[in-house]
Chain A
Amino acid sequence: MTMNCEQFEHDVLATPLKDNDARREHAAECPPCAKLLARAKKMEQQLSAAMAVPVPESVTSEMPDMPSLESVSAASANTDKVVDLESRRRRPPAPVWLAVAASVALAAVLVLRQPAVDEAHIENLTAELIDHLAPEMGAMRVNYNSVPRTRLTSVLSPAGASMQTDAPLVSYAKSCLINGQLVPHLVVQGADGPVTVLVLPNEKVDGPISIMRNGLEGVIVPVEGGGSVAIIGRDAASVESVRQQTQESLAFDI
Chain B
Amino acid sequence: MKHSRMRLFAPVVIATALVLAGCSTSNLGGTSDADKSGDSGPIKIGAVLDITGVGASLGVPEQNTLQMLADQLKADGGINGRDVELIIVDDQSTEDGAAKATAKLIESDNVDLIIGASRTGPSLAMRPLAEAAEIPLISVAANAAIVDGAKWVFKTTQNDVTVLETILNDAEKKGYTKLALVRDATGFGEGIADYITQLGADRGITLVTTEAFEPSATDFTPQMTNIRSSDADAVIIWGINPAAGLAQKAYVQLGVNKPVYQSHGIANQAFFDAAGPSADGVIAAMGRLLVTEQLDADNPQRPVIEKFQADYSEAFGEQPSTFGGHAFDAWHIAVNAIEKAGTDPNALRDELEQAEFVGISGVYKMTPENHSGLTASALILAEARGGSWTLLKD
Q: Do A and B come from one complex?
A: no
